Structure 1
Amino acid sequence: MFEKDPHLLIADDDRPFLNRLAKAMASRGFTVTMAESVADALSALRTQPPAFAVIDMRLGDGNGLDVITELKSRRPEARGVILTGYGNISSAVLAIKLGAFDYLAKPADADEVFFALMNGDAAAVGTIPQNPMSAERVRWEHIQRIYELCERNVSETARRLNMHRRTLQRILAKRAPR
């Protein structure tokens, strides 16, 4: 697919990162279109749906998942990678269900992005993670997943997790453990 159409859309509201990644991907042979917002990305998709896309999960004017959804509706075979600095399992699962090819945590370098676009999740098969999640992180991810499934309803999430609502609120207010 890369040889036939090397068109890549990169959507990220962090301009220095966007410029660095665009330059790095252009040096790898991609024809890069940059977008700093959901509106810009959707406009670029309507003009020419790319074969590849790298999209930040949270953009200034909306959610990058809207861009993935539109990309997959216009070009189902396109390979889209979601980048995020706010990673949790539930958002990763949602991104994959909506058609993302892979999901990378920021800061991701150009080599990681290139590998994800070219090989999909082949890296995950048969390899042991270099930094596996801690037990606290696994617990936090599970709580976040249930919270999302309960449509961000704290009382319902607390009931399903069999914990006090205030305890859950304290956990949700903290940053994710490493």
Structure 2
Amino acid sequence: MTTTPERLLLIIEDDEAFARTLNRSFERRGYRVLVAHSQDEAAALLAQHSPGYAVVDLKLKGNTSGLACVQLLHEHDPDMLIVVLTGFASIATAVEAIKLGAVQYLAKPSNSDDIEAAFGHVAGNAEIELTARSTSIKTLEWERIHAVLAETDFNISEAARRLGLHRRTLARKLEKQRVK
């Protein structure tokens, strides 16, 4: 049985407590919610359902990239409204998420209000204020690290090798800069 996409939401999140919280919150808003904790679970749900909305965590367990899930969802239905959530925000991963079919990219912590607003805000805004502030070296380093992480599907060992860093050094940098 296929469900209509109007108010069916797929949440792909490996943090079970956060997934439960989002699930309850969106059910109270009138959505029917499906939850997957991995790309494989998401693919199995897509075989039976056609959600119109999706929320995808960027970094899933086992260093699996949520970007692959975004690609899977967009291939399943190019009109699906996909929002990516991440505790590891970077320009590189934001650009890739949008290229792969996400309509918005939100840094954690984000709540269901933020996510629902993101579903409704799919067009760009040419009136957004541009900042004159230059980019710092730390920001450039952070963006380069995340670009390499995205290229390696979030494989920390391979990213460290490509960056010329020891794996533990890269892990420390990632933990130090984590967006909470």
Superposition TM-score, scaled by structure 1 size = 0.74
The Cα RMSD (Å) is 3.3
Q: Partner of 2:55 in structure 1?
A: 54
Of 77, 80, 89, the match for 1:78: 80
Matched length: 165
Q: Alpha carbons of 1:172 and 1:14: their partners in 2 closer, same or farther (altered >3 Å)?
A: closer
Indicate if the aligned counterparts of 2:14 and 2:37 stay in contact, CA closer than 8 A: yes
Give, in angstroms, the shift of residue 77 of structure 1: 0.6
Indicate if the aligned counterparts of 2:5 and 2:51 stay in contact, CA closer than 8 A: no
Greater relative contact order (Cα < 8 A, sep 6+): 2
Indicate if the aligned counterparts of 1:57 and 1:82 stay in contact, CA closer than 8 A: yes
Give, in angstroms, the shift of residue 126 of structure 1: 3.5
Q: Alpha carbons of 1:177 and 1:128: their partners in 2 closer, same or farther (altered >3 Å)?
A: farther
Superposition TM-score, scaled by structure 2 size = 0.74
Q: Which runs of 5+ in 1 are unaligned?
A: 158-164
- Render the CA deviation track for 1:23-53: whole Å, top value 9, x for unaligned: 1111122111111122111111121121100
Q: Distance in 2 between matches of 1:64 and 1:177?
A: 17
Indicate if the aligned counterparts of 1:6 and 1:52 stay in contact, CA closer than 8 A: yes
- Over the matched positions of the two proteins, sequence identity in percent amounts to 27
Q: Which runs of 5+ in 2 are unaligned?
A: 153-157
- SS of residue matched to 1:107: coil
Q: Alpha carbons of 1:121 and 1:112: their partners in 2 closer, same or farther (altered >3 Å)?
A: farther
Q: Distance in 2 between matches of 1:53 and 1:177?
A: 24
Counterparts of 1:4-15 in structure 2 under 5 Å? 5-15=6-16
Match for 2:108: what amino acid? K
- SS of residue matched to 1:54: strand
Match for 2:49: what amino acid? Q
Indicate if the aligned counterparts of 1:140 and 1:177 stay in contact, CA closer than 8 A: no
